Homo-oligomer: A and B are copies of this chain.
Amino acid sequence: MTALPCACGIDVHAHVVPEKFPAYFGGPMPKLWPSTAEAPNANGLCHRHIMIAGKNYRTVSEKCWSTTRRLADLPQMGLAKQVISPMPELFSYWFEPHEAQQLLRFLNEQIAAMAAESNGALIGMGAVPLQDLDLAITELRYAVEVLGMVGVEIGSNVNGKVIGDPHFEPFFEACEALGASVFVHAVKPAGMDRLVGPPPLQQVLAYPTDVGLAAASVITSNLMMRHPKLRIAFSHGGGTLASLLPRLQQGWSVFPALKEQVQTSPTEQARKLYFDTLVFDTPTLQHLTNMFGSTQLMLGTDYPFNFHDRTPVDRVNATGFDAAVLKQLTFKNAERFLGMNLHTQAPARTNA
């Protein structure tokens, strides 16, 4: 098997939760304002409960906030660098805009601080209050221009409005103008009323469903036609987009109304989007790479949550693609997505 022996991967999909949240200032505490609470240690790691509306949303370990712990884990995952972005449940789109901005400003500064102390290994990506486009653009500029972040993570929808909706046009225009990378992650997904089983099915089934529909909406609204320099990526391998795309392509050739709406072939537009490799299956990863192009996939892990990929580089190596493609998937595409050129000196050596 061809394999890249170095720990040279760039993970574009990993999350941060701060150890503690500040109290809200400026008025009564918003009902959904998060906090954390002490939790029992486990596996030698400090843990905390993330409390939202008085309930434990999730119990997480110090890997969420400790730069040292995180850096210690990267090499064994084959990673040289990791993009760190907020846990999506912290997007705060459901807050009053100024409340959200206060929380997201804190988060963005925490993430920027982690990146600053990582000696270049962690790359900060922020979040913005997209329920208010003016505030979102203000915070985007702050994240990129003041905090030096590469861009922002956004939800697949904002309070139910899918991100391909023309409403978000000024935001994407600003992202393109600033050269900010955009990473789209599922949040508050569609399809929840179609699940039969325990709560994790939200992440397992509804998340990829919402991401797939979000990616499709970006295609049907011609986002990349209007903003050809925008760099936008979708989590979880684009979710269900791979299943939807051939049918969208065929429908585009059959329905005049769709042909009129969608300016360029859906398949071609899909190949201008980026996707992470977080699909947990070799044939699926091969299929995505063939469908979207070897230039469009990048490592993604969902580190450090329970449901994360511990062997992202091994998974790419298992595809059996040639060394050039493995390098693209492992770090070169991520460099392009991030607008960086971090690995110009990376080893070209491969093992047969």
Contact = CB atoms under 8 A, between A and B. Distances in A.
Interface of A: 157, 160, 162, 164-166, 190-191, 193-201, 203-205, 208-210, 212-214, 216-217, 220-221, 236-237, 239-244, 246-251, 254-255, 257-258, 260-262, 279-281, 283-284, 287, 290-291, 306-307
Nearest to A307: B254
Contact of A247 (B213, B216, B236, B261): B236
Contact of A240 (B157, B164, B199, B240): B240
B213 A205 contact: yes
A87 to B, nearest CB: 17
Given A214-B194, A217-B194, A246-B281, A307 B208 contact: no
Given A205-B247, A205-B248, A209-B244, A162 B194 contact: yes
Contacts of A195: 162, 213, 216-217, 220
At the interface, is chain A mostly helix, strand, loop or mixed? helix
B208 A244 contact: yes
A191 B51 CA distance: 29
Nearest to A309: B250
B166 A196 contact: yes
B251 A204 contact: yes
26 contacts: A160-B193, A162-B194, A190-B190, A190-B193, A194-B210, A194-B213, A194-B214, A197-B258, A197-B261, A198-B261, A199-B257, A201-B220, A201-B251, A204-B258, A205-B216, A208-B247, A209-B244, A236-B247, A239-B243, A240-B240, A242-B243, A242-B284, A249-B280, A251-B307, A254-B307, A283-B290
